[in-house]
Structure 1
Amino acid sequence: MLFPGHTIKAGESDASIVKALKAQLNRVLSLANEPSLRLDESEGTFGAKMRQVVKLFQARHVDPEGRPLKQDGEVGAITWSVLFGQQSVPQAATAIDPLLAEVIKVARFELDRPVREQPTNSNRGPDVEKYLASVGLGGGFSWCCAFTYWCFQQASTQLGRRNPMVKTGGCLKHWQDAPARGAKLIAAGAAQANPGLLRPGMLFIMDHGKGLGHTGLIVSVSGGLLNTIEGNTDASRTREGGGVYALVRRVSEINKGYIDYSGVA
């Protein structure tokens, strides 16, 4: 059964989805052997008992990356994928827009080189400083947004077209100004409910408060999981890491939203 494009939780109005979930939970958790927990598959209400059973399922399972599921008693894309399989949630591995496909290609080249700060934890080094220079900044500044701008600039040059991305090193300024350049914004909550809204080539924006943020490039989407390429991060997944890295993030980690430049001339 395919993910319906929204989080299923207490009060769900579609009885057919609730019944399908009950049947799958009963089967996967072998609740025939636990009559006190077994869900009535003929009844289409998502109530307190079902929420308890969903939390039990989440406590006993991990996501495709081996990380514990969030035990919230709600069935989002990640929990759904563990219940019904990865083929049941939205998958996107290729950018539709030619520019965004080229941006991913450029970012992958930088990832494979690899790029690291020199010296460590300095926001400096030949590669870092070329990214920062592309947005008019010198060495020493946080550079995740500059990295994405540089990738867009290289891709645009190679395709002989205008770079649509806002020229800035500020993640939150990028979010603020992107619509004026023709970009579409997708709010974090909308994407968490329906990861099918997300495509390779989009940029995610995280807001850390006090004007600080982080950004990166989506390379592929698998339900509630994003494969990304990001600058100024590392395995710690912070906004002040030491290089260009490929990471896997949950859609729920992204608290601001996504910027989509597809179709922008």
Structure 2
Amino acid sequence: MRYPGRVIKMGEADPRIVRALKTALNKALVLRGGQAIALDPDNPHFGPRMKQAVQLFQARHVDEHGQPLKIDGEVGALTWAALFGRERVPQSVDVADPFLGAVLAHAGAAADAGVREQPRNSNRGPEVDEYLRRAGVAPGLAWCCAFTYWCFDEAARDAGRANPMVRTAGCLNHWNRAERHGARRIPARAAIDDPRRVRPGMVFIMDFGGGLGHTGFVERVEGGHIHTIEGNTDASQGREGGGVYRLARRLASVNKGFIDYAGV
């Protein structure tokens, strides 16, 4: 069975989903004696005992990147993939909008070129200064959002058209103003429930509180994971790194949401 496009938890009303999950959990856990949690697939209810079985499965398994599953007793895309296989969760590698494909190509070229701050930890450098200048702010500031704007701007110049993205170096400012520029916003909760809503070419937004954020591009989607291209980061996946990198993140780590400029 394919992932149904929502997180499955206690109270689930679809008996087909409950039956499939109970059957898979019984097969995966194979417990005996006092540890046994035998689930009745013919019982259509997702109750406390089934939640306990899901939690036990999550405690004993990892996602496809070898990272521990969240032990919450709810079946999202990552737990679903661990139970049924990654081919049973949404995969998306193609950019449907040609303009967004061109934007993503500029981002990928910067990652391939190994753009880095010069000197290290300075928020400066020939490329970084240009990203910030293009976004209309002074050099030396955090530049992840300025990088996304520069990629849009380069693609727009190539195509001889207006840049649809908000001109800003502020991640949360971008989120707040995107819809007024014709973009569509996908809140984090909706994306976690149904990864099919997230497509290559979208911009992700993270909120760290206190007005601080981080952003980058979705390059491809693999169920509960996204592969990204982002600036002002590094292998630690932080928001103060020194270059443009390709990274893999859990979709659930994006706590604000996604911005879609397709067709704008």
Name the CA shift for 1:67/1:263 in 2 (closer, same or farther; >3 Å): same
Letter in 2 for 1:261: Y
Q: Tell me, in whole angstroms, the C-alpha distance in 2 between the residues paired with 1:174 and 1:204.
A: 10
Alignment of 1:223-234 (within 5 A): 223-234=223-234
Q: What is residue 254 of structure 2 aligned with on the other side?
A: 254
Q: What SS does the corresponding residue of 1:174 show, helix, strand or coil?
A: helix
Q: What is residue 77 of structure 1 aligned with on the other side?
A: 77
Q: In 2, are the aligned partners of 1:106 and 1:151 still within 8 Å (CA)?
A: yes
Q: What SS does the corresponding residue of 1:162 show, helix, strand or coil?
A: coil
The alpha-carbon deviation at position 36 of structure 1 amounts to: 2.9
Letter in 1 for 2:84: F
Q: What SS does the corresponding residue of 2:135 show, helix, strand or coil?
A: coil
Q: Tell me, in whole angstroms, the C-alpha distance in 2 between the residues paired with 1:238 and 1:203.
A: 17
The alpha-carbon deviation at position 159 of structure 1 amounts to: 2.0
Q: Tell me, in whole angstroms, the C-alpha distance in 1 between the residues paired with 2:51 and 2:80.
A: 14
Q: What is residue 41 of structure 2 aligned with on the other side?
A: 41
Q: Tell me, in whole angstroms, the C-alpha distance in 2 between the residues paired with 1:182 and 1:214.
A: 21
Name the CA shift for 1:95/1:32 in 2 (closer, same or farther; >3 Å): farther
Q: Tell me, in whole angstroms, the C-alpha distance in 2 between the residues paired with 1:258 and 1:228.
A: 12
Letter in 2 for 1:242: G
The alpha-carbon deviation at position 30 of structure 1 amounts to: 2.2
Name the CA shift for 1:120/1:47 in 2 (closer, same or farther; >3 Å): same
| CA displacement 1:184-229 (0-9 Å, x = unmatched) | 0011111111111000000010111111111010000011100000
Q: Tell me, in whole angstroms, the C-alpha distance in 2 between the residues paired with 1:243 and 1:163.
A: 24
Letter in 1 for 2:165: M
Structure 1: gaps spanning 5 or more residues: none
Letter in 1 for 2:170: G
Q: What is residue 139 of structure 2 aligned with on the other side?
A: 139
The alpha-carbon deviation at position 138 of structure 1 amounts to: 2.3
Q: What is residue 263 of structure 2 aligned with on the other side?
A: 263
Q: Tell me, in whole angstroms, the C-alpha distance in 2 between the residues paired with 1:188 and 1:142.
A: 23
Q: Tell me, in whole angstroms, the C-alpha distance in 2 between the residues paired with 1:33 and 1:6.
A: 34
User: What is the aligned length?
Assistant: 264
The CA RMSD over aligned residues, in Å, is: 1.2
Q: Tell me, in whole angstroms, the C-alpha distance in 1 between the residues paired with 2:35 and 2:149.
A: 57
Letter in 2 for 1:247: L
| CA displacement 1:125-172 (0-9 Å, x = unmatched) | 111111101111222100000000000111111222221000000001
Q: What SS does the corresponding residue of 1:229 show, helix, strand or coil?
A: strand
Q: In 2, are the aligned partners of 1:149 and 1:167 still within 8 Å (CA)?
A: yes
Name the CA shift for 1:211/1:35 in 2 (closer, same or farther; >3 Å): closer
Q: Tell me, in whole angstroms, the C-alpha distance in 1 between the residues paired with 2:160 and 2:87.
A: 38
Q: What is residue 93 of structure 2 aligned with on the other side?
A: 93
- Taking structure 1 as the reference length, the TM-score comes to 0.97
Identity %: 56
Name the CA shift for 1:33/1:109 in 2 (closer, same or farther; >3 Å): farther
The alpha-carbon deviation at position 104 of structure 1 amounts to: 1.1
Does the alignment pair 1:188 with 2:194? no
- Taking structure 2 as the reference length, the TM-score comes to 0.97
Q: What SS does the corresponding residue of 2:152 show, helix, strand or coil?
A: helix
Q: What is residue 122 of structure 1 aligned with on the other side?
A: 122
Q: What is residue 18 of structure 1 aligned with on the other side?
A: 18
Q: What is residue 150 of structure 1 aligned with on the other side?
A: 150
Q: In 2, are the aligned partners of 1:26 and 1:32 still within 8 Å (CA)?
A: no
